[in-house]
Amino acid sequence: MTTDSGRFDGYGVLVTGGARGIGAATARRLAREGARVLVADRDAAEAGRHAATLREQGGTAEGVGCDVADRASVEAAVARAVDAFGSLDVLVNNAAHCTPDGARFEDGEDEDWAADLDVTLVGAYRCCRAALPHLAASGRGAVVSIGSVNGLQHFGNHAYSAAKAGLMSLTRTLAGHAGPRGVRVNLVAPGTVRTRAWEGRDDDLEAMRRVYPLRRVGEPEDIAAAVAFLASRDAAWITGHTLVVDGGITAVNSGFLHALSGPPED
């Protein structure tokens, strides 16, 4: 990675769940555009390795262990970013937890719902709460959260979907609160993205690819590009917005078309 002098020169950025997948791609994209990135992840060793890779590629990055389900851990990560970079200008809420659904809704466990909500929704709240004073002080603060099309339509995973829908609501309400303080708050809602969660499921990805209007599933870099836009001054008059980045899947009723005219053609 050659560092591009660009939109994030001098910015301090914190990316949760930043060691892998969408978080790792986002950290890489922002570092490439000049940001100083704190890669925060529950897996501290992996966060450190990814930060080291970004440095080897010419970026400025540090890694830190951070469990967004723990207030003290979140506050320590935010303090680390401010101490290391002198400011915190962008927070990317990417950490999430998804419990697979059981066969029947009524067989679900409270603990599964609590885990998905606590990491995916309440974790983002904890991060915003800790970061907001610093984002407001920066004069160019932005929050970008990673939601999901699951928060818009039924794609399974009840608890995860409810948490992502809640995150969309938090994006709107926090945008209203933080706007007068100079902080923008937005969300990217991805469709299916090729991440570690899909390892060993190539047949499933191939089946899903064919129902996407663009005939492919997303890559982490697709989402990172959208995050970079919303975090940058290019989006200076955008706040409280959910940007759907989904290859068109929520725009097209693929199941209806399949029933009407047969399987999609490549």
For residue 71, which amino acid is it? R
Torsion sign, CA atoms 74, 194, 174, 163: negative
Q: What fold characterizes domain 12-200+217-250?
A: Rossmann fold (3.40.50)
Rounded CA-CA distance 36/33 in Å is: 9
Terminal-residue alpha carbon distance, the chain: 34
pLDDT digits (tens, 9 = 90+) for 34-72: 999 999 999 999 999 999 999 999 999 999 999 999 999
Average pLDDT of the segment spanning 129-150? 98
| pLDDT at position 93 over 90 | yes
| pLDDT at position 150 over 70 | yes
pLDDT digits (tens, 9 = 90+) for 158-185: 999 999 999 999 999 999 999 999 999 9
| pLDDT at position 2 over 70 | no
pLDDT at 259: 79
| pLDDT at position 226 over 90 | yes
Torsion sign, CA atoms 124, 244, 88, 56: positive
Catalytic, out of 11, 125, 160, 212: 160
Rounded CA-CA distance 199/197 in Å is: 6
Rounded CA-CA distance 232/210 in Å is: 33
Is 160 noted as a catalytic residue in this protein? yes
> Per mean pLDDT, which range of 3-12, 121-130, 214-223 is the poorest?
3-12
Give 1's pLDDT tier (boundaries 50, 70, 90).
low
Helix (H, G, I), strand (E, B) or coil at 15: strand
For residue 233, which amino acid is it? R
Rounded CA-CA distance 222/147 in Å is: 14
> Per mean pLDDT, which range of 30-39, 141-150, 251-260 is the poorest?
251-260
Domain boundaries, the chain: 12-200+217-250
pTM of the model: 0.94
Burial of 210: CB neighbours in 10 Å, binned 0-12, 13-18, 19+: middle
